[in-house]
Amino acid sequence: MNLTLKVWRQKNRSAAGEFATYQARDIIPDMSFLEMLDVVNEEILAQGHEPFAFDSDCREGICGACSLVINGIPHGGNKGVTACQLHMRHFHDGQTITIEPWRASAFPVDRDLITDRTAFDRIIASGGFISAHTGGAPDGNALPVSKPDADKAMDAAACIGCGACVAACKNASAMLFVAAKVSHLGLLPQGQAERYDRVVKMVETMDNEGFGNCTVTGACEAVCPKEISLEFIGRLNRDYLVGSLKK
Amino acid sequence: MNIFQFLFKSSLGRKYIMAVTGAALVVFVIGHMVGNLSFLLGREEINAYGHFLHTKPELLWATRIGLLVMIVLHIWSAIALSAANKAARPVGYAVQKSNGSSYASRTMLMSGLIVFCFIVYHLLHFTVQAPAVNLTGKDFGTLIDSEGRRDIYSMIVLGFSRPAIAIFYMVGVGLLSLHLSHGVSSLFQSLGLRSKGYAPLINCAATVLAVVLIIGYWSIPLSVLTGLKK
Ligand code: FES
C-alpha cells in the first residue's frame, strides 16, 4: 500500500505548528498503524531529517500511551481499539491520512503528536485511590461483592486513561475518564469509606485543570478504546450530588 | 463549603442547575401547549381559558416570575458552561468528525439562543400585545368578545393571518423541539437519573415529546393558515 500522511509538526509547547506531508511507501496491510509510522520515520531519518514524535509504549492496547487523532477520530475509528492495535488493512491504497494530536487546553502539545496528559495524573492523585492498608492478599471471597457490581466495576476499571474521550468531546470534557475512575472504586466495598470525598475532590481537580463540561453528545463513549459507557457519567453526577450535600 | 458553592461554582453543579431549570421549563411548555389547544375547540373554550388565567393574578404572576427565574438561570448556566467549553479547546481539529454525536446535541447553544429570541418576540406579540410587532396594523389589546372578555380567539386568528409570522412561529417551535429532543434525555443524565437500562426509554420519550410538541403547537398556526379557523 502507498499512502499520503499529513502529520502535525510542532517544535515545542510555545511554537506554532503546521502540517507536513509525507509518503508512506510499500506498507504491508498487516502492519499496525504505529508500525507504519515507524517505517515513515525511518525514511525521514535516512534522509537526514528529524522524525516526527508520537507516544507509544505497550503497543498492545493496554497502556493508554498512544494518542493519535486519525482522520478526525481519536484512535482511528475502529471500535474498541487503540491506535497501536489499528491495522493498515482498514485503510485503502492511495488514501490520504491526517494525523493530529489530542486537542485540549488541559493537554498541551509538547512536541508534534505528543501531548502532556499529566492533568489526568493530578486528577487521580487528588482522590482516585483507596488509602486503607489492606495487609497481605486477602481470601478470595472474604469480602462479598455481588456479581453485577463486580462486573460493572471491572467495566469502569478497563479505562486506560489514554484521553481519547477528551480528544473526541467537542467540549474537551474529561468526565468519562473521571466517571470511570470514580465508579470502579465507588462500586466496590473497599472504596466506600472515601466514596463521596473522592468524587468531590476529583471533580474539583478536573475543573481546575481546565477540562470542559459534558453535554451528553456521546462522542467519548463512541471513541473509547475500552468502550466505557456513558452510564458512568450518570453515576458520577449522582455521586457528586450526594457528595456535595454531605460536605 | 455549602451547597450553593457546589451548585454555582462547579461544572457538575452548573449542569444540575441547567437540568432542573430545563425540566421546569419543559413542564411549562407542555402545559402551555395543552392550554392553547383549547383554541382548536373554539372561541368559547380558549376565551374562557384566558379569562380563567386572568382572574387568578397570584397564579399568573407566580408562574411568570418563576419562569423568568428559570430562564435566567438556564441561560446563565448555558453561557458559563459554554465559555468553559470553548476555553477547553482553543485549537480545533483540521479534520472534524461528529464521532457519533447527534446534530441536536452539537447545536444546543445555537438552538437555545434562537428559541430565546423567538420567546421574546412571542411575548411582545401575544402577551405585551405590542401593535408594532404584529404586522396587522391592529391593537390586539382592544379585542373583546361578546361577553366582554379578552378575545384570545380573534387575537390568534389575526396574529397568524400573516404567513411570515405563522412560519416564524413554526420554525421557533421546530427549534425548541430539536433542543428538547436532546435536552430532555440529557437532563436525566445530568441529574444522575439515567442508567444503561433506562437510557433507551428516556431517549425514546424525549423524541416522542419533541414530535408531540411539534404537532400540538403547529396545529394552531396551520389551522389558521389553511383557513380551518377564522
Ligand atoms: S501503546 Fe499502549 S495502548 Fe497503544
Same structural domain, A155 and A195: yes
Q: Which helix (H) or strand (E) holds A7?
A: strand A3-9
CATH of the domain at A194: 1.10.1060.10
A113 Cβ under 8 Å from any chain B Cβ: no
Percent of chain A with pLDDT over 70: 100
B110 Cβ under 8 Å from any chain A Cβ: no
Residue of A nearest to B109 (CA): A215
**Ligand 1 centre from A61 Cα, in Å?**
4
What is the amino acid identity at position A180?
A
Q: Which helix (H) or strand (E) holds A70?
A: strand A69-70
Residue A35 near ligand 1, beta carbon < 6 Å: no
Stated pTM of the model: 0.93
Same structural domain, A122 and A242: yes
Contact B11 A203 (CB under 8 A): yes
Residue A66 near ligand 1, beta carbon < 6 Å: yes
Domain count across chain A: 2
Same structural domain, A172 and A241: yes
Residue of A nearest to B104 (CA): A217
- At residue B49, the pLDDT reads 94
Q: Which atom of ligand 1 is nearest to the CA of A55?
A: 1
The pLDDT tens digits of the residues spanning B59-81 come to 999 999 999 999 999 999 999 99
Q: Which atom of ligand 1 is nearest to the CA of A84?
A: 4
- At residue A141, the pLDDT reads 82
**DSSP 8-state symbol, A5:** E
pLDDT tens over chain A, length 247 residues: 999 999 999 999 999 999 999 999 999 999 999 999 999 999 999 999 999 999 999 999 999 999 999 999 999 999 999 999 999 999 999 999 999 999 999 999 999 999 999 999 999 999 999 997 777 888 878 889 999 999 999 999 999 999 999 999 999 999 999 999 999 999 999 899 999 999 999 999 999 999 999 999 999 999 999 999 999 999 999 999 999 998 7
Same structural domain, A104 and A80: yes
- What is the average pLDDT value for chain B, to the nearest integer? 93
Cβ under 8 Å to B: A residues 202-241: 203-204, 206-207, 210-219, 221-223, 229-231, 233-241
Specify the long-range contacts of residues B105-111, CB closer than 8 Å, at least 24 apart: B105/A215, B105/A216, B105/A217, B105/A218, B105/B182, B105/B186, B106/A170, B106/A217, B107/B178, B108/A215, B108/B78, B108/B179, B108/B182, B108/B183, B109/B78, B109/B82, B111/B175, B111/B176, B111/B178, B111/B179
Cβ under 8 Å to A: B residues 82-101: 84-85, 87-101
Distance CA B177, CA A66 (A): 40
The pLDDT tens digits of the residues spanning B167-203 come to 999 999 999 999 999 999 999 999 999 888 899 999 9
Same structural domain, A8 and A107: yes
Mutate to test the pocket of ligand 1, among A82, A102, A223 (most ligand atoms within 8 A of CB): A82
The pLDDT tens digits of the residues spanning A31-53 come to 999 999 999 999 999 999 999 99
Q: Please state the rounded mean pLDDT for residues B140-154.
A: 88
| CA-based nearest residue to B130, from B141, B119, B114, B115 | B141
DSSP lists the bridge partners of residue B150 as B144
Domain boundaries, chain B: 3-88+102-225
The pLDDT tens digits of the residues spanning A201-242 come to 999 999 999 999 999 999 999 999 999 999 999 999 999 999
Alpha-carbon Rg of chain A, whole angstroms? 20
Same structural domain, A100 and A164: no
CATH of the domain at A74: 3.10.20.30
- At residue A138, the pLDDT reads 80
Distance CA A22, CA A74 (A): 20
Same structural domain, A99 and A163: no
**Ligand 1 centre from A5 Cα, in Å?**
21
The interaxial angle of helices A231-246 and A195-208, nearest 10 deg, is 110
Same structural domain, A83 and A188: no
Tally A–B CB contacts below 8 A.
Answer: 149
Same structural domain, A8 and A50: yes
- At residue B1, the pLDDT reads 57
Same structural domain, A87 and A205: no
Distance CA B136, CA B134 (A): 6
Same structural domain, A52 and A77: yes
| CA-based nearest residue to A216, from B94, B117, B206, B87 | B206
> What CATH number belongs to B3-88+102-225?
1.20.1300
Same structural domain, A123 and A217: yes
Residues of A in contact with B84 (CB under 8 A): 171, 212-213
A102 Cβ under 8 Å from any chain B Cβ: no
Quote the domain boundaries for residue A23.
Answer: 3-111
| CA-based nearest residue to A198, from A177, A228, A178 | A178
The ipTM estimated for the assembled molecules is: 0.90
**Ligand 1 centre from B99 Cα, in Å?**
21
